[in-house]
Structures are given as structure tokens and as C-alpha cells.
Chain A
Amino acid sequence: DAGVTQSPTHLIKTRGQQVTLRCSPISGHKSVSWYQQVLGQGPQFIFQYYEKEERGRGNFPDRFSARQFPNYSSELNVNALLLGDSALYLCASNQLGMDTQYFGPGTRLTVL
């Protein structure tokens, strides 16, 4: 079975631009979470979605938003990019009611 997939793999943007990252969960997984991993640090929770609704949000500004589609895939949007948004963005999926989250390979975002 395919794992969590994310696209694109790498992305380079300039300050002030907007970016959209995409995630497809493992088949059968209805919950998707997004994490930001700055180089040399552990991942930080951004959002969790299931049943197309935001269920939790970490300490991130309103420039960060996300949505989940009927097929359970998800998009993360970041507006007005800052240099500090440069990071690996990870998507994880899990079955509802199960704690184990499975991570995708991430999207490496570089903001110049």
C-alpha cells in the first residue's frame, strides 16, 4: 500500500508570495495533520483535520490555513511568506480513533 504522499518535493519562493502544499493520506485514513520542521528541530504541530473540519491548531499565525477534501486529501496554504517559513512541511495521517500517525516525506520550502 502507498504511504502518505506529498507534493511538491521542493519549492522555492520569495518573501511575500503565497504557497500551497498538498498531501494524500494513506488509504483508509481520514485524519490528516500538518507539521513544520525547521532544520535541526523537532516537528511542530500546525493543524489537524478530519471530516473536512479543522480539529486543532498549533501556535501558528493566521497566514497559515488548510483544508481537507471529500477524498481526505489536504492542502496547506501559507500567505505572505517570511524567511522564517523556510522549513520541511510534513503531513501525517492516521485512522480515526487511532493514535499512530504516519508521516509523508515532506515538502522542503525555501523562502528567499
Chain B
Amino acid sequence: QQQVKQSPQSLIVQKGGISIINCAYENTAFDYFPWYQQFPGKGPALLIAIRPDVSEKKEGRFTISFNKSAKQFSLHIMDSQPGDSATYFCAATLTSGSARQLTFGSGTQLTVLP
């Protein structure tokens, strides 16, 4: 069970609002949870990451909330801006053999209206 489930598929938020994206996992071997932002035609760029021994991590307008018992984590974007319009991916990492393997969610297309 290396799947990471992400919701919603798309999200429309007004400028200044809060964007919330949720992810869930089954495999407790996952031990590192990054969030990536991807603009059209570009590669994913790391936004923020968390380990399961921490319940919350904040960097600027971006916050990860992590619930280890529920095997869920979420990204909150405060004061959302039109420039935040992009696709967001949650991901989870585990050790497989001698590799650190990153598994991505299916993505959330965020649109922030001006």
C-alpha cells in the first residue's frame, strides 16, 4: 500500500482566502511528507515538508498539519494570492530496498481569483 490519496481534485478560492488540500495514506512506513507546487510546463518545486513526529509546521503563508493516528495530513495556504494558482501535490517517502522512494498524490489544481 504505497498509495497517497489527495483531495480535492480542484479548488477555487478568492484572493485573501484560505486554501486547504488534504491527503491520506495507509502505509505506516512513510516517514517524510513533502508538498510540491507545479506550474504548467515546469517541474515540481518543494514548498514545505514535515516528519510524522511533528503535528504542525509553518513556513510563511504555508502550514502543514499532520495527524499521525489518522494517517492524514493537509496543506493550508493562508491569504491566498493569484500567484499561488498552480497544481499542488502531496507526497510521502519511504525506504524501499536501498532507495528513498517518493510517492505522489494525484494533485490539486488551485485557482485563486483576483
Residues of A in contact with B (beta carbons under 8 Å apart) = 4, 33, 35, 40-45, 48, 55-58, 90, 92, 94, 99-106
Contacts and interface: CB of A to CB of B under 8 A. Distances in A.
Contacts of A42: 6, 89, 91, 104-107
B99 A48 contact: yes
B101 A103 contact: no
Contact of B44 (A48, A58, A90): A90
B100 interface: yes
A38 to B, nearest CB: 11
Nearest to B103: A45
B43 A90 contact: yes
Interface in B83-105: 89, 91, 93, 96-105
Contact of A99 (B93, B97, B98, B103): B93
Q: Interface residues of B: mostly helix, strand, loop or mixed?
A: strand
B98 A55 contact: yes
- Interface centre among B44, B46, B93, B104, by most chain A C-beta atoms within 10 angstroms, is B44
Using C-beta atoms within 8 Å of the partner chain, give the interface range for chain B: 20 to 34
Contacts of B98: 55-56
Contact of B43 (A40, A48, A106): A106
Contacts of B32: 99
B42 interface: yes
A48 B102 CA distance: 10
Q: Which 7 A-B pairs have the closest CB atoms?
A: A56-B99, A42-B104, A103-B43, A55-B99, A48-B99, A99-B32, A55-B98
A53 to B, nearest CB: 9
B34 interface: yes
A10 B79 CA distance: 36
Contacts of B89: 42-43
B101 A58 contact: yes
B34 A56 contact: no
Given A90-B43, A106-B43, A101 B102 contact: yes
A103 B42 CA distance: 9
Nearest to A51: B98
